[in-house]
Structure 1
Amino acid sequence: MEVFAVEGLPEVRPGDDVAELVAERADLRDGDVVCVASTIVSKAAGRQANLDDYAPGEQARRIADTIGAVTDEEKDPRFAQAVVEESEEILVEAPFILAVTRFGHITVNAGIDRSNVPDADLLLLPEDPADCAERIRTGIRERTGADVAVVVTDTSGRPFRLGQRGVALGWAGVPAARDWRGERDREGRELGATVQAVVDELAAAANLVTGEGDGGTPVAVVRGFEFGDHAGSDDLYRDPETDVVRDALSEWSHVRD
């Protein structure tokens, strides 16, 4: 398996066609997995915003005040309002904002970015990353004839570990996970719990070559990945009713209040 960045992509602007930009610069083949950073998907969709677009409400002002009190760093209530508006639920209000996006991803600040946004203060996540992945996949097939999979990626922190890694926000043409349950190990023991989140692993592999900061390479191609003869699933986000970590966060927030 090999992973390589797509070179020569321009600064993406609202209205740009991501599929066309990639198809013009990559010699794609059937079975390739095209991993596209959510930043350029959002830019093409016009998901930029300015802090002055947001009028802070009571919740946003409380969050900003609480973070300031806990961290001794001033938090702009307009930014907190942007996070509230992009969220389905706020799980933690301080010392940082941990939010559930409207498509189910849990991340700090609802994934709102403030870097590499030349024309605005903020860059919001795509509204529907799965739909974006499908449209990019269709666009690439129409332009190149190649039957590829597409994963829309972002970077995210990890519970219980330092550092960030690539994760999948939306995907098309490949299942989110491959299910090893019911298969057997080399000793003949039946596997009962192993479900491998392959789209996250593909996103993390892509992030090794796309990098961070000023790299300017927001698209990577994974070539030679084989899903194999396994059951597949598109379940990636835990059901809130059975998510014990979310329950623990809720209880902790209640105790703090």
Structure 2
Amino acid sequence: MELFAVSNLPEVNEGDDLAALITEQVDLRSDDIICVASTIISKAEGRTANLDRFSPGPRARELTTALDSDIDPRFTQAVLEESVEVILESPFLLTETRFGHIGVNAGIDRSNVPDADLLLLPKSPTESAQRLHEGLPANRIIVTDTCGRPFRHGQRGVALGWAGLPPARDWRGETDRDGRELSATVENVVDELAAASNLLTGEGDDGTPVVVIRDFEWGDHGSSDAHFRDVDTDFVRQAVRGWSYA
């Protein structure tokens, strides 16, 4: 398979047609997978905000004080409004977004936002991917972001939303080379492709938020719609809920 970044994309503004912007810069083939950074999805959907939009309540002020840092309580309020649960309160805010993603500060970004203080994640990245898929019906779409991982240093790309393909390849019921049946393996393909695309989109001022993945083959495997873990089976989340930083 081949990956390449789409170059010469203009700065994206609210209301822009991303499908048109992409096709103006690259000749797409049928079944290309288009990985699009959530940054430009959010910009096109008007998900920028200034701090003065948020009035910190008692909970935001309490959390800000506990963090013992120079964080603006208005930023903490923004995190709360973008979250359904604060899983970890200190030494940083680890939260669940309204669409099921778990990350630091609800994924709110403060870089590459020239005309605002904050860039919020898309309200529903899978719905965003579906709208882009409607503009590019021959192509599969993955909305990506970067975040850290437990137990490892550094960030990597992850999938927040997708359209035109299932998120996971299901190997259960297949056999290994010794004939043993696989009973638990479900491969999160959209995360793997998002991580691969992040090698090209980068983390700084590259200005390449769209990557085309060409000639990826799903193979003769089943599929799964699983992506975000259910709370009842997310034992790490349950453990973190009961942990406090001292």
> Fold-level match, TM-score > 0.5?
yes
User: How many pairs are equivalent?
Assistant: 246
Give percent identity, aligned residues only.
63
Say which SS state the counterpart of residue 118 (structure 1) adopts: coil
How does 1:153-164 map onto structure 2 within 5 Å? 153-164=144-155
List runs of 5+ in structure 1 lacking aligned partners. Answer: 142-146
How does 1:104-115 map onto structure 2 within 5 Å? 104-115=100-111
User: What residue is the counterpart of 2:84 in the other structure?
Assistant: 88
User: What residue is the counterpart of 2:75 in the other structure?
Assistant: 79
User: What residue is the counterpart of 1:54 in the other structure?
Assistant: 54
Say which SS state the counterpart of residue 252 (structure 1) adopts: coil
How does 1:163-182 map onto structure 2 within 5 Å? 163-182=154-173
- Give TM-score scaled by structure 2 length: 0.98
> Within 1, Cα distance between the matches of 2:119 and 2:225?
27
> Within 2, Cα distance between the matches of 1:231 and 1:88?
32
Per the TM alignment, residue 216 of structure 1 is displaced from its structure 2 partner at its CA by 0.2
> Within 1, Cα distance between the matches of 2:63 and 2:219?
47
> Within 2, Cα distance between the matches of 1:9 and 1:30?
21
How does 1:1-257 map onto structure 2 within 5 Å? 1-68=1-68, 73-141=69-137, 147-253=138-244
* AA of the residue aligned to 1:110: A
CA RMSD of aligned residues (A): 1.0
Per the TM alignment, residue 242 of structure 1 is displaced from its structure 2 partner at its CA by 1.4
> Within 1, Cα distance between the matches of 2:134 and 2:112?
27
Per the TM alignment, residue 138 of structure 1 is displaced from its structure 2 partner at its CA by 1.1
> Within 2, Cα distance between the matches of 1:225 and 1:105?
25
Per the TM alignment, residue 228 of structure 1 is displaced from its structure 2 partner at its CA by 1.1
Per the TM alignment, residue 74 of structure 1 is displaced from its structure 2 partner at its CA by 1.4
Per the TM alignment, residue 212 of structure 1 is displaced from its structure 2 partner at its CA by 1.2
Per the TM alignment, residue 12 of structure 1 is displaced from its structure 2 partner at its CA by 0.4
Per the TM alignment, residue 239 of structure 1 is displaced from its structure 2 partner at its CA by 0.6
* AA of the residue aligned to 1:117: V
Per the TM alignment, residue 46 of structure 1 is displaced from its structure 2 partner at its CA by 0.4
* AA of the residue aligned to 2:81: E
Cα-to-partner distance string for 1:47-103 (whole Å, 9 max, x where unaligned): 0001111000111101110111xxxx3111100000000001110111100000000
> Within 1, Cα distance between the matches of 2:70 and 2:40?
29
Give the helix-richer structure, 1 or 2: 1
User: What residue is the counterpart of 1:144 in the other structure?
Assistant: none
> Within 1, Cα distance between the matches of 2:3 and 2:62?
45
Per the TM alignment, residue 148 of structure 1 is displaced from its structure 2 partner at its CA by 0.8
- Give TM-score scaled by structure 1 length: 0.94
